[in-house]
Amino acid sequence: MVAAFVGASPAFCADSIQPSVKRRIAILEFDAVNDEAKRATRAALSRKIFTTAAFSSGAFDVVERHLIEKVLSEMEFGQGAVSGTVAQKVGLLVGAEAVLSGAVAQYRDELRIDARLVRVSNGEILLADKEFARDSLTSISAPRTRSCAS
């Protein structure tokens, strides 16, 4: 799943006039939608995995988490899930072209992550995906799709 987002969507990749130019993205805190996911801190960990993968790919300039949190704080939203409109506004304020956000749910030993990449300029969903795993985020971070460069 991470690879799908790190590879971005064909529309996001095709936008780039120069393929070597890094796309600037903001990765927001994922929403832990149930108590099990909250207790296991899966949302924060998911964000870290996506951030590391995006940065390591070399295809993205990832907005620093502290800058995003500062903007959210100034908007009086704090940390946690934000609506699509707020995500767009945050993206604009931090100079991102796209925002990655999502939700995490855990039931016993099953984990589900839903994520979406949204273009900041118009709110278009560039990519949306979900992934299931058995009590581990390892399989979710395994590469399985293409990248902008391919």
pLDDT surpasses 80 at 9:
no
pLDDT surpasses 60 at 59:
yes
Which of 96, 109, 139, 142 shows the shortest CA–CA distance to 37?
109
Contact 113, 30 (CB under 8 A): yes
Q: Which pLDDT belongs to residue 1?
A: 54
pLDDT band of 49, cuts 50, 70, 90: confident
Confidence (pTM): 0.72
Residue 146 or 130, more confident: 130
Q: Which pLDDT belongs to residue 58?
A: 86
Region 61-70 average pLDDT: 80
Mean of the per-residue pLDDT values for the chain?
A: 74
Tokens of 44: 């924060």
Question: Which domains are assigned to the chain?
Answer: 2-14+23-136 (3.40.50.10610)
